[in-house]
Chain A
């Protein structure tokens, strides 16, 4: 039975998205492989966790949420998906990003490929994330779950909006090392969450189409005494360096005690990453 259904699923790979009839009822979940952490987050929330995912070991370090089921098979890096392993997994569907378009012909030999453009489209990623969530729900027969996920995220952001109001202006950065820093801004999901919580980003400069920019520690002075969150992962010897650094110690946000560490949130994540970010902000505001 399952095999038959899988065959049906494979049918018509080119016009896959258009022709596929939503699977009615609670049928056996299709075997999906995800080549992107963000899309995998959505899959897990939809109740269709991927059978295979790139770099499963990095999950605990970058997206963290939702928890990754232990059964998910590691299929290598996103630079080089292990095609042999992918073949052995016999997936029904591969979901991917435009950055892997150049290996699409190979992937299509294994299963139909659906790619979701989300970032660097010249606008904020949030609407594209919602569209991708709906599309995934439709393709996997999980429309209800998809709408529920969208509503749930909306609610969580509404709740967070009330409790983060007094945070004022804030900035989110990651330390590449003590001298080189990445700052987040328009074009990324962190800014999208800021907008929905009606928080103001304290970073005054433009960012690239993926929503981040580079700066030095001295550049952080432009944040003023707004709140600063430095996100995990933090390089091993960084905190000791910061403690000794007169420049860091004289930053207005450090002197006012407005600098704090934040657990990692996937910068290229989807709705679960947005909720996680909002929740971490709420916890910081508490």
Chain B
């Protein structure tokens, strides 16, 4: 078989023929009119076609080459150093981190951008990667755990960028520049700026290539000494820098850094040196092909699709293929739980959380702002008229928080992965996707229509998950498929946003976690599900505890592992679907609350589940109150406020636990 495989460069050659043909199709007619010389020398300003070719189309082509090269190389370096075929700037959160840094700088520290745009994005990229590594440390760099952490960090950063744009831009303009990755060029300056940086990074990478090949030998190479650790760090640094430079130049080109090395591997490029050449080449060619096709499409239809979002639509399926084909070997049993001290008085801790919840809830009911914006505590007839607004959203938010936290702690126990959470189960993505379809099918969708769409989307994802449950051997694989669905959805949404379609606006505010459209019925339904979910979870308690000791142990205790796993997944997914309809897909309460409960000493069994659930409700109650009052009369989406409140706490927890397990 092997001898039948042509050389990897043959495939690269074939791909470049395709790229050349499409480029010729797009640019050829124009260049044949103005001639080659006019295209490559500064044209006379009177010849507008020559100006167009020289100052826009050719630089754009060059930009696609350079960015594709940089991302292809960056992805390949990540994959090699981490020995993980799923690693890439997108799946490690580096791209999204860089994008968030850019957005924050644009809004609050414009001086930083004036000083160095590259340094700003690099800072964001490194921060995101540090966070991912801190989380992965606990799990001993188990490949899937790293990717899961990376995708979650990426989604988190994207969520914040969405909120920022939501609050700062009336007509959503500018959003797609950050999210969509636009390769439009006005002259050669940007290419001239980016090119030397990419060349420098590539040279460093090639110089390190010899030591890199040692890395292939695996962990035994570690005995070769400390120098290797420096090499690893150096290569990671180069990879992040490459990503940061491209983000600062053109925005997020989603998942190209994943797809290019994967394709390079599929063409048979196995050794480090050939992969180092073939991956960036394929990255370049792929981006050129996609971008030229989109240009032709735009010329034909006047519809401009953002290149970066389209690459994501193509790249995410590549991620899925890699998982399903090579997934099994990467799914070694997770075993990285750092032992946390258990509280001796779990009842007292739970009682305090419950009391705090009560206090926050009463504040949220009685305190508000008057017409003139003054803080007042309302009562009597005024409160009676306001309660129909305040009550449902508070009840719904708390119920959603409770359900998400419950689902999160179930999933974390089931998979033994501390980054597992309902937001990454894919059910949220399905819910969002269902709503999106409704928005485009029905001209004037009511809340009921949207509920229906959301439920159908969630149900479809659930069915798919169950159908796959026979093949999938670990809960982690479920999760990573779920996150991929989430990434696919956010790419799709950036494409729609780029079109400036006003219909997408209401979807964004729901995605941001707005509890704005909650009616009394929905609030009561959510509460009913939350309470019965809490009651039902006690049934799972015993088998779940066996599960925490590992599959084999659970089996020997008479638990039907496969059946039980499906049951818990289904239960968690149902809770997630209901909660997501209320509070959007990006609150991350389900991720954060179980960790917080553990830190408070509620580490085991019922105490942990109960503590997580109450903390989830508490987090949402606080978020609801703050979101409703702090920026009056504007209301901030509860889900995102919860993310912003809990995020820093969560990051701190991860880093502290990471450090502790390092000392072990």
In the assembly, what is the distance between CA of A210 and CA of B172, in Å?
15
Question: Closest residue of chain B to A121, judged by CB?
Answer: B443
Q: Is the CB of A80 within 8 A of B635?
A: yes
CB contacts (< 8 Å) of B390 on chain A: these are 84
CB contacts (< 8 Å) of A99 on chain B: these are 502-503, 505-506
Q: Is the CB of B633 within 8 A of A249?
A: no
In the assembly, what is the distance between CA of A249 and CA of B370, in Å?
53
Q: How far is the CB of A39 from chain B (nearest CB, A)?
A: 15
Q: Is the CB of A76 within 8 A of B173?
A: no
Interface centre among B382, B447, B449 (most CB of A within 10 A): B447
Q: Is B517 an interface residue (CB 8 A)?
A: yes
In the assembly, what is the distance between CA of A207 and CA of B635, in Å?
33
Q: Is the CB of B503 within 8 A of A102?
A: no
Return the contact of B519 from the options A55, A106, A252 (Cβ within 8 A). A106
Q: Is the CB of A98 within 8 A of B444?
A: yes
Contacts A99-B505, A217-B56, A251-B48 given; does A105 touch B186 at CB 8 Å:
no
Q: Is A208 an interface residue (CB 8 A)?
A: yes
CB contacts (< 8 Å) of B177 on chain A: these are 176-177, 179-180
Interface centre among A74, A84, A98, A179 (most CB of B within 10 A): A84
In the assembly, what is the distance between CA of A245 and CA of B519, in Å?
53
Return the contact of A73 from the options B371, B382, B508 (Cβ within 8 A). B371
CB contacts (< 8 Å) of A252 on chain B: these are 48
CB contacts (< 8 Å) of B43 on chain A: these are 250
Q: Is the CB of B186 within 8 A of A218?
A: yes
Q: Is A77 an interface residue (CB 8 A)?
A: yes
CB contacts (< 8 Å) of B499 on chain A: these are 208, 214
CB contacts (< 8 Å) of B505 on chain A: these are 78-79, 99
Q: Is A58 an interface residue (CB 8 A)?
A: yes
Contacts A87-B386, A101-B445, A221-B52 given; does A62 touch B170 at CB 8 Å:
yes
CB contacts (< 8 Å) of A79 on chain B: these are 166, 505-506, 508-509, 514, 516
CB contacts (< 8 Å) of B304 on chain A: these are 213-216
CB contacts (< 8 Å) of B42 on chain A: these are 246
Q: Is the CB of A103 within 8 A of B447?
A: yes
Q: Is A2 an interface residue (CB 8 A)?
A: no
Interface size class of A (residues with CB under 8 A): 35 or more
Q: Is the CB of B500 within 8 A of A208?
A: yes
Q: Is the CB of B517 within 8 A of A210?
A: no
Q: Is A205 an interface residue (CB 8 A)?
A: yes
Q: Is B237 an interface residue (CB 8 A)?
A: no
Q: How far is the CB of B159 from chain A (nearest CB, A)?
A: 16
Q: Is the CB of B371 within 8 A of A247?
A: no
Q: Is A89 an interface residue (CB 8 A)?
A: yes
In the assembly, what is the distance between CA of A217 and CA of B446, in Å?
39
Within 8 A of B (CB), among A233-278: 241, 245-252, 255
In the assembly, what is the distance between CA of A246 and CA of B501, in Å?
32
CB contacts (< 8 Å) of A78 on chain B: these are 505
In the assembly, what is the distance between CA of A242 and CA of B461, in Å?
48
In the assembly, what is the distance between CA of A210 and CA of B302, in Å?
14
CB contacts (< 8 Å) of A178 on chain B: these are 186
Q: Is the CB of B48 within 8 A of A250?
A: yes
Q: Is B551 an interface residue (CB 8 A)?
A: no
Q: Is B450 an interface residue (CB 8 A)?
A: yes
In the assembly, what is the distance between CA of A77 and CA of B450, in Å?
21
Question: Closest residue of chain A to B449, judged by CB?
Answer: A102
Q: How far is the CB of A15 from chain B (nearest CB, A)?
A: 18
CB contacts (< 8 Å) of B517 on chain A: these are 102-103, 106
Return the contact of B447 from the options A102, A206, A248 (Cβ within 8 A). A102
Q: Is A85 an interface residue (CB 8 A)?
A: yes
Q: Is the CB of B444 within 8 A of A105?
A: no
Q: Is the CB of B55 within 8 A of A218?
A: yes
Q: Hey, what's the 0/1 contact readout for A65-87 against B, CB within 8 Å counting as 1?
A: 00000000111111111111101
Contacts A76-B633, A217-B186, A252-B48 given; does A247 touch B503 at CB 8 Å:
no
Return the contact of B514 from the options A58, A80, A89, A246 (Cβ within 8 A). A80
In the assembly, what is the distance between CA of A75 and CA of B369, in Å?
12
Q: Is the CB of B186 within 8 A of A245?
A: yes
Q: Is the CB of B444 within 8 A of A250?
A: no
CB contacts (< 8 Å) of A245 on chain B: these are 55, 186-187
CB contacts (< 8 Å) of B173 on chain A: these are 174, 176, 182
Question: Closest residue of chain B to A251, judged by CB?
Answer: B48
CB contacts (< 8 Å) of A109 on chain B: these are 388
Q: How far is the CB of B504 from chain A (nearest CB, A)?
A: 10
Contacts A106-B519, A208-B499 given; does A250 touch B51 at CB 8 Å:
yes
CB contacts (< 8 Å) of A89 on chain B: these are 371
Contacts A79-B509, A218-B55, A247-B187 given; does A255 touch B519 at CB 8 Å:
no
Q: Is B206 an interface residue (CB 8 A)?
A: no
Question: Closest residue of chain B to A79, judged by CB?
Answer: B509
Q: How far is the CB of A230 from chain B (nearest CB, A)?
A: 13
In the assembly, what is the distance between CA of A48 and CA of B375, in Å?
30
Q: Is the CB of B634 within 8 A of A76?
A: yes
CB contacts (< 8 Å) of B502 on chain A: these are 99, 210
Jot down 23 A-B pairs with beta carbons below 8 A, ordered by A: A74-B633, A79-B514, A80-B637, A82-B632, A89-B371, A98-B443, A99-B503, A99-B506, A103-B517, A105-B519, A109-B388, A178-B186, A180-B177, A182-B173, A205-B302, A213-B302, A217-B186, A218-B184, A218-B186, A224-B48, A245-B55, A245-B186, A245-B187
* Contacts from A to B (Cβ < 8 Å): 55, 58, 61-62, 73-85, 87-89, 98-99, 101-106, 109, 174, 176-180, 182, 205-208, 210, 212-218, 221, 224, 241, 245-252, 255
Pairs of residues from A and B, 5 with the lowest C-beta to C-beta distance, nearest first: A218-B56, A250-B45, A247-B55, A216-B184, A79-B509
